[in-house]
């Protein structure tokens, strides 16, 4: 299992992640042509303007209305994306296999960031359970997605702190990481792919077409 | 299906029409709309929504109903469209009735929620898909459907006969002449700079607004005309009932009438949804990327004639006023600053609302909701407590509403919540305060 | 088409009327109209006593009325207006009112030959049509549109054939609208009927019909086409054989159908305003080959050049070989001929006028509030305060101009070669 995870699984996971992502984005753009009224109104300026407002913390009114959630959400997403890329252990593997390496996070910081992701996931789940509005629109799949997302981080922490058998844990860590990657294009995690598209479209409908702001 | 005061409302447009539905017919229509009439947006919006509920607090119905989850934008989508997709259209008449109620009477497709969704999902568009399905199934609130029927027959929304239309203009021309010398409503004048178009409630119940416009046009020295044929009504409830074929027919006639009269632009009266229909939804269904002839909303027109000094103010309006930002011209055109310029030019004491501009709350009369008629009025009022609170906080006596739906909707809100305020169109204040030069005094 | 053979094509320039004198004489002078031959200019005028009449050159109609509007010259030079006398409406022709009076009357139109004039009327809460002072015997609950046969002997109208209670959506969906021809309604009732039109010989009537929420088709004399479509636009008879053509929408795209069968399967995003060449052999139509792009399609071949703003109805040359249409881009108007737009653009432009040989096109255009003649794309001659459509003489050697300059209305005949260069 370990050898498979260390070898082919990574390939498969990255292939599904990149291939699937490209497929989803291209098929969406093709489908947008059928809608007729999308592409003719797309303008870089207004698309980027909208994306920028929603990528900057407190850049939109809705973010300002709920500061705790905004901070948590930004920390969660930032840590989720950055930690795997800049963790020393991961870079060591790249170095070992491909001879490439880059700057890494100090150990304590990457550990903290991992905790933030796990904590964020827990808060999301608690919010889904406690807020009646969110609970009403929550399906079982929404919990599964959180599980998929935080599983590699939980197992990463367990491996870091050498809880249980390290080799077992690290194997599970690799598997959960692979599942996480491969899930991106085909689960709700695809929102990371579609965010620029939907945001840019709305930014253009508001800004380019209607001379109004959408943040 | 939950038993609520809203679910018990009697409306033959829903109660009677569902009796004729068969499961096969429903399924066929749902599949047609979901797979043939919609593509990327529907799919991506459904796939992208992470069920975060961040859209909830954008919605005035949700806020006004103590955060009832069924009234959050995403909750409305869940109860209707998600179910349709999940069940592949295999739903019964009662379900269609429920989704018709939700889509037509509990969502004003004001698009405020798309400004609160982190992904910019056009939730109103999703509700419009539900409306389209309901329309093709013939399950539409009676009064709204009747308005659409009127559009189909007359191209105007209130069954105004052609003779009534012309007769009213001639009568209002006489009225205007008694206020401003030589004021006219020039009918069928080919080559005029401006074709002025209005919505049917003006000739039907608010004819003095036409007379007001004749006075303003004369004083401002505008070369204008109005058609004496169908095509004068710029409103479009078919757009909101989901009958896009009738919507397109109405808009085509409106634009072709302007082209026939050789007008260089259309100036339209104080109406918001009409702006949306004429500038966005109508042209798009017909195949125009943008309106074929420039369309100027009344707010912008008043801004232009005040800014350029064509209209001068004799003495500003004294009573404290506040303003309703109409969704379709403020969120839909960014006219908020110009609206405030106009109000400040005309009025001495303007107290702004909060939230404002693009973030203003809908009047809960737009989107065809008020056209659903008396059965749904109470529900609409309960759905807009935040609007009442918003106005109350200003302490103003007058709410300026540059939109017919807002005007009627805010009037309802004021009555229901006993705010003791009054509503006025901009033109009503303008004729009151504008300086009529001596040579134009009768 | 007015018969221009008897007009004065010899006189070069004639000042027909001094409009300042007219304005001094009356309290109000409304919009001017000119006769086809240019010999007369007329306007509704208001006296100090607030009564109305029509002024023609330096003359007026003798009878004063309470209200007078919609002053129009017929192709044969007669002058008509809608007038209110004793609180009743009628049509006045050359100063003489019809005998029939109505609660209301509107939209008078001459037939194609110009010999007859019809209008919509309301009397005793019923609606109908009157042609040349003769009224349909039967009245209807509502009327929206009408058409005259080419010779003016018949009329067809969109009529409401049963009363409809307020907000009665159920009766509406059963159908209360139909087409009435010469006052008699078709047996069938529809949700809607629109745009009736007569065949060239006046024997048949076609119209758009709607049979269900989203089911549209065409009916000819009450016989509906078999197929139902997502939408249809106005039908048109083929001049030679009386078959009916209409744009129809299927699967979200527009096609052209003849007698119910698709003849253009071009998957257009939009198709409307079908026109035939004079001999009926060619079809030109406003088309949108793809979203947001407009052009003219002739015999199912769209012009290569497209416009985003607007394209207006196509016009065939007299020989049917060329097609011209008004087009607009970035809010500037011009004319395109066989797909090639003129190089200059204008604030507004009027319909293209072909020379009888079909080689040249002239049109009235506007720039900065001044009007001019444009010949084959080049503005020619002076600019005027007001101008009417230019007219070629039958042999194409002369052009009649009608314009207002310095408050004087002039009629001028110019040599076509001077204008066309």
- Dump pLDDT digits (tens) for B272-325: 999 999 999 999 999 999 999 999 999 999 999 999 999 999 999 999 999 999
Q: In the structure encoding, which two tokens stand for residue B182, read together?
A: 């030589």
Residue of A nearest to B83 (CA): A137
Contacts of A37 in chain C (CB under 8 A): 291
Report CB contact under 8 Å: C104, B166.
Answer: yes
The pLDDT score that the predictor gives to residue A191 is 96
| The pLDDT value given to residue B337 | 98
Contact B153 C192 (CB under 8 A): yes
pLDDT 10s digits, B154-195: 999 999 999 999 999 999 999 999 999 999 999 999 999 999
Q: Do A131 and B53 touch (CB under 8 A)?
A: yes
Segment B89-126, tens digit of pLDDT: 999 999 999 999 999 999 999 999 999 999 999 999 99
**Is B439 buried (19+), middle (13-18) or exposed (0-12) by CB count in 10 A?**
exposed
Q: Is residue B290 part of a domain?
A: yes
Distance from CA of A34 to the nearest CA of C (A): 10
Q: Does A35 touch chain C (CB under 8 A)?
A: no
Chains with 3+ CB–CB pairs under 8 A to C are A, B
Q: How many Cβ atoms are within 10 Å of B59's Cβ, its own excluded? A: 29
Question: Over the stretch B415-436, which tens digit does the pLDDT of each residue have?
Answer: 999 999 999 999 999 999 999 9
Which has the closest alpha carbon to C116: C83, C89, C149? C149
Residues B22 and B77 in one domain: yes
Nearest chain A residue to C291 by CA distance is A36
Nearest to C213 among B135, B182, B186 (CB): B135
pLDDT in tens, C22-50: 999 999 999 999 999 999 999 999 999 99
Mutation pick from B19, B136, B160, B163 vs chain C, by most beta carbons of C within 10 Å, is B163
Nearest C-alpha of chain B: how many angstroms from A93?
Answer: 33
Closest CA to C232 of C220, C219, C218: C218
Retrieve residue B247's tokens. Answer: 């919507």
**To the nearest whole number, what is the mean pLDDT of chain C?**
96
Indicate the domain borders of chain C.
1-101, 350-421
Task: Assign residue B340 the CATH number of its domain.
Answer: 3.40.50
pLDDT score, position C88 = 97
Of B136, B166, B262, which has the smallest distance from its Cβ to C106's Cβ?
Answer: B166
- Kindly give the residue spans of alpha helices, DSSP state H, lying in chain A: 2-4, 10-34, 44-55, 61-65, 67-86, 88-98, 107-130, 132-136, 140-160, 166-183, 191-203
A62 contacts B57? CB cut-off 8 A: yes
- Interface mutation target, options C292, C293, C308, chain A, most CBs of A under 10 Å: C292
Per-residue pLDDT, averaged over C179-188, amounts to 97
Size of interface A-B (CB pairs under 8 A): 132
Give DSSP secondary structure letters for C244-264: EEEEEEETTEEEEEETTEEEE
Each residue's pLDDT tens digit, A32-60: 998 899 999 999 999 999 999 999 999 99
Q: What is the CA radius of gyration of chain C?
A: 23
Average pLDDT over residues B25-41: 95
The answer to the question of residue B110 being in a domain is yes
Nearest-by-CA chain C residue for A40: C292
pLDDT digits (tens, 9 = 90+) for B205-254: 999 999 999 999 999 999 999 999 999 999 999 999 999 999 999 999 99
- Tell me which residue range forms the domain holding B285: 148-307
Is the pLDDT at B271 greater than 90? The verdict is: yes
pTM of this prediction exceeds 0.95: yes
- At A4, is the pLDDT very low, low, confident or very high (cuts 50, 70, 90)? confident
For helices B123-137 and B93-105, what crossing angle results, to 10°?
130
The answer to whether residue A136 neighbours chain B at the CB level (below 8 Å) is: yes
Contact between residue C271 and residue C283 where contact means Cβ atoms under 8 Å apart: no
Would you say domain A2-209 falls under CATH 1.20.950? yes
Q: How deeply is B416 buried, as exposed, middle or buried, from its count of CB atoms within 10 A (0-12, 13-18, 19+)? A: middle
pLDDT of residue A7: 81
- Are C231 and B248 an interchain contact pair (Cβ–Cβ within 8 Å)? yes
Whether residue B108 contacts residue B408, with contact meaning beta carbons closer than 8 Å, is answered with no
- Cβ neighbours of residue C215 closer than 8 Å, sequence gap 6 or more: C228, C229
Residues B209, B303 share a domain: yes
Q: Does residue B250 sit in the same domain as residue B357? A: no
Q: Which runs of E-coded beta strand occur in C111-252?
A: 117-123, 126-131, 134-135, 142-148, 155-160, 177-181, 184-185, 192-198, 205-212, 215-220, 223-224, 231-232, 236-237, 244-250
Give the pLDDT confidence score for residue B39 in this predicted structure. 87
Percent of chain C with pLDDT over 90: 94
pLDDT tens column, B244-257: 999 999 999 999 99
Q: B370 and B244 in one domain?
A: no
B171 & B249 share domain: yes
- What is the chain B residue with the closest CA to C369? B193
For helices A166-183 and A140-160, the axis angle rounded to 10 degrees is 140
pLDDT band at C1, cuts 50/70/90?
A: low
**Is A195 in contact with B70 (Cβ distance < 8 A)?**
no
Per-residue pLDDT tens over the stretch C105-150: 999 999 998 999 999 999 999 999 999 999 999 999 999 999 999 9
Phi, psi of B396, rounded to the nearest 5 degrees: -75, 160
A200 vs B404: CA distance, rounded Å: 32
- If asked whether residues B289 and B172 sit together in one domain, one would say yes
Boundary residue ending a domain (B140, B163, B178): B140
User: Within a domain: residue B440?
Assistant: no
A41 with B289: Cβ contact below 8 A: yes
CA distance B271 to chain C (A): 23
Whether residue B267 is predicted with pLDDT greater than 80 in this model: the reply is yes
Q: Considering only the beta carbons, identify the residue of A137, A205, A210 that sits closest to B53.
A: A137
Q: B152 with B250, same domain?
A: yes
The closest of A30, C113, A141 to B40, measured between CA atoms, is A30
Query: Do B268 and B410 belong to one domain?
Result: no
A9-38 residues touching B, CB cutoff 8 A: 28-29, 31-32, 34-35, 37-38
Average pLDDT over residues B343-364: 97
% of chain A with per-residue pLDDT over 90: 89
B111 and B166 share one domain: no
Predicted pLDDT at B412? 97
Structure tokens at C238: 């083929």
Same-domain pairing of B184 and B297: yes
Judge contact between B371 and B237, C-beta under 8 A.
yes
Pairing, β C192-198 against β C215-220: unpaired
Q: What is the pLDDT of residues C313-343, one digit of tens each?
A: 999 999 999 999 999 999 999 999 999 999 9
CA nearest to C293 within chain A? A40
pLDDT in tens, B135-151: 999 999 999 999 999 99
Residues of C in contact with B163 (CB under 8 A): 103-106, 120, 122
How far is the C-alpha of B440 from the C-alpha of B183, rounded, in Å? 9
Residue B129's domain is classified under what CATH number? Answer: 1.10.1060
Residue A98 has pLDDT above 90, yes or no: no
Q: What's the pLDDT score for residue B1?
A: 74
A34 touching C (Cβ < 8 Å): no
**Mean pLDDT across B349-377:** 97
* Cα distance between residue C333 and residue C217, in whole Å: 34
Q: Is residue B442 part of a domain?
A: no
pLDDT band, residue A3 (cuts 50/70/90): confident
Chain A partners of B69 at a C-beta cutoff of 8 Å? 132-133, 135-137
Structural domain includes residue B5: no
Residue in C with minimal Cα distance to B371: C167
Mean pLDDT across C343-347: 97
- B411, part of any domain: yes
The residue of chain B with its CA nearest to that of C165 is B146
What is residue B201's three-state secondary structure?
helix
Residue ending a domain, choose from B115, B140, B165: B140
Tokens of B322: 């506040």
Q: Could you please report the per-residue DSSP string of B385-418?
A: HHHHHHHHTTT-SEEE--SHHHHHHHHHHHHHTT
- Alpha-carbon distance of A115 to B430, in angstroms, equals 62
Is B118 in Cβ contact with A212 (below 8 Å)? no
Query: What are chain A's partners, defined as 3 or more CB pairs within 8 angstroms?
Result: B, C
Q: How many domains does chain B have?
A: 3
Shared domain check, B62 and B102 = yes
Domain endpoint, select from B276, B307, B338: B307
Give B 238-267 residues with CB within 8 A of chain C: 243, 245, 248-249, 252, 255, 259, 262, 264
Mean per-residue pLDDT, A153-178: 93
pLDDT of residue C12: 87
């Amino acid at each position: 299992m370990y050898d498979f995870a260390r070898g082919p699984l990574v390939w498969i996971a990255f292939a599904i992640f990149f291939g699937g992502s490209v497929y989803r984005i291209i098929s969406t753009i093709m489908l947008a042509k059928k809608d007729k009224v999308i592409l003719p109104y797309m303008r870089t300026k207004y698309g980027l303007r909208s994306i920028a407002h929603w990528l900057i913390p407190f850049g939109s009114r809705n973010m300002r209305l709920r500061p705790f959630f905004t901070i948590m959400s930004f920390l969660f997403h930032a840590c989720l994306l950055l930690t795997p890329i800049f963790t020393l252990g991961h870079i060591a593997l790249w170095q070992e296999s491909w001879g490439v390496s880059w700057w890494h996070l100090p150990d304590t910081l990457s550990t903290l960031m991992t905790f933030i992701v796990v904590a964020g996931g827990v808060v999301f789940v608690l919010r889904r359970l406690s807020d009646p509005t969110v609970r009403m629109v929550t399906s079982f799949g929404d919990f599964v997605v959180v599980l998929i997302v935080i599983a590699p981080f939980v197992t990463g922490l367990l491996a870091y702190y050498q809880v249980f058998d390290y080799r077992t844990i690290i194997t599970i860590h690799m598997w959960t990481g692979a599942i996480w990657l491969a899930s991106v294009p085909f689960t709700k995690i695809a929102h990371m792919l579609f965010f620029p598209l939907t945001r840019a479209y709305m930014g253009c409908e508001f800004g380019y077409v209607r001379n109004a702001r959408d943040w | 299906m939950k038993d609520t005061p809203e679910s018990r409302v009697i409306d033959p447009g829903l109660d009677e029409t569902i009796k004729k539905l068969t499961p096969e017919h429903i399924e066929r229509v749902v599949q047609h709309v979901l797979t043939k009439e919609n593509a990327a947006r529907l799919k991506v919006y459904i796939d992208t929504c992470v069920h975060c509920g961040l859209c909830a607090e954008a919605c005035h119905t949700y806020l006004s109903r103590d955060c009832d989850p069924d009234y959050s934008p995403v909750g409305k989508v869940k109860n209707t469209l998600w179910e349709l997709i999940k069940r592949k259209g295999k739903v019964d008449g009662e379900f269609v009735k429920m989704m018709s109620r939700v889509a037509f009477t509990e969502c004003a497709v004001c698009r405020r929620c798309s400004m609160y969704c982190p992904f910019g999902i056009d939730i109103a568009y999703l509700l419009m898909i539900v409306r389209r399905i309901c329309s093709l199934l013939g399950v539409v609130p009676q009064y709204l459907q009747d308005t659409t029927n009127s559009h189909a027959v007359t191209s105007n929304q209130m069954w105004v006969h052609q003779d009534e239309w012309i007769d009213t203009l001639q009568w209002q021309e006489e009225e205007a002449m008694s206020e401003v010398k030589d004021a006219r409503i020039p009918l069928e004048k080919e080559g005029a700079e401006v074709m002025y178009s209005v919505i049917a409630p003006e000739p039907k119940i608010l004819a003095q607004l036409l007379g007001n416009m004749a006075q303003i046009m004369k004083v401002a020295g505008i070369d204008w005309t109005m058609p004496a044929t169908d095509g004068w009504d710029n409103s479009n409830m078919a757009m909101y009932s989901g009958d896009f074929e009738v919507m397109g027919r109405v808009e085509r006639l409106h634009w072709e009438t302007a082209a026939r009269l050789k007008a260089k632009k259309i100036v339209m009266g104080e109406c918001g949804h009409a702006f949306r229909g004429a500038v966005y939804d109508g042209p798009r269904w017909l195949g125009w990327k943008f309106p074929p002839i420039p369309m100027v909303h009344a707010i912008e027109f008043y801004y232009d004639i005040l800014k350029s000094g064509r209209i001068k103010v004799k003495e500003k309006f004294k009573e404290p006023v506040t303003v309703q930002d109409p969704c379709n011209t403020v969120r839909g055109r960014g006219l908020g600053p110009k609206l405030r310029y106009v109000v400040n030019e005309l009025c001495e004491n303007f107290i702004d609302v909060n939230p404002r501009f693009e973030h203003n709350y809908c009047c809960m009369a737009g989107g065809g909701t008020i056209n659903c008629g008396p059965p749904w009025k109470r529900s609409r009022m309960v759905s807009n407590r935040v609007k009442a609170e918003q106005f109350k906080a200003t302490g103003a006596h007058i709410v300026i509403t540059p939109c017919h739906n807002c005007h009627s909707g805010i009037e309802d809100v004021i009555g229901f919540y006993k705010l003791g305020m009054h509503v006025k169109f901009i033109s009503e204040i303008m004729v009151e305060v504008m300086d009529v030069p001596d040579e134009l005094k009768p | 088409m007015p018969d221009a053979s008897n007009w004065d094509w010899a006189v070069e320039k004639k000042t027909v009327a001094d409009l300042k004198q007219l304005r001094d004489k009356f309290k109000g002078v409304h919009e001017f109209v000119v006769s086809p031959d240019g010999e007369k200019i007329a306007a509704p005028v208001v006296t100090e006593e607030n009564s109305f009449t029509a002024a023609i050159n330096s003359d007026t109609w003798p009878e004063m009325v309470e209200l007078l509007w919609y002053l129009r010259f017929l192709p044969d030079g007669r002058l008509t207006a809608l007038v209110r006398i004793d609180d009743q409406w009628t049509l006045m022709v050359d100063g003489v009112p019809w005998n029939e009076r109505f609660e209301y009357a509107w939209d008078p139109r001459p037939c194609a030959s110009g010999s007859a004039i019809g209008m919509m009327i309301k009397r005793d809460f019923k609606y109908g049509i009157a042609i040349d002072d003769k009224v349909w015997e039967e009245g209807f609950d509502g009327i929206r549109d009408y058409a005259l046969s080419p010779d003016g002997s018949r009329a067809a109208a969109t009529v409401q054939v049963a009363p409809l209670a307020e907000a009665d959506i159920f009766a509406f969906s059963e159908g209360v609208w139909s087409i009435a021809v010469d006052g008699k309604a078709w047996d069938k009732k529809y949700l809607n009927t629109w745009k009736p039109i007569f065949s060239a010989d006046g024997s048949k009537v076609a119209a758009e019909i709607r049979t269900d929420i989203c089911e549209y088709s065409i009916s000819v004399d009450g016989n509906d086409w078999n197929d139902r479509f997502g939408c249809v636009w106005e039908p048109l008879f083929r001049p030679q054989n009386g078959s009916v053509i209409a744009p129809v929408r299927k699967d979200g795209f527009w096609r052209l159908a003849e007698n119910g069968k698709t003849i253009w399967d071009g998957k257009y995003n939009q198709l409307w305003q079908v026109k035939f060449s004079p001999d009926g052999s060619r079809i030109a139509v406003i088309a949108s080959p793809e979203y947001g792009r407009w052009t003219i399609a002739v015999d199912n071949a769209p012009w290569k050049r497209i416009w985003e703003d607007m394209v207006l109805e196509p016009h065939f040359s007299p020989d049917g070989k060329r097609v011209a249409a008004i087009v607009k881009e970035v809010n500037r108007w011009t004319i395109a001929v066989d797909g090639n737009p003129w190089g200059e653009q204008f604030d507004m432009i009027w319909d293209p006028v072909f020379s009888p040989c079909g080689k040249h096109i002239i049109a009235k255009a506007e720039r900065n509030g001044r009007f001019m003649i444009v010949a084959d794309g080049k503005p020619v001659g002076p600019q005027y305060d007001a101008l009417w459509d230019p007219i070629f003489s039958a042999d194409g050697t002369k052009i009649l101009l009608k314009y207002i300059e310095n408050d004087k209305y002039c009629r001028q005949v110019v040599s076509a070669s001077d204008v066309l260069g």
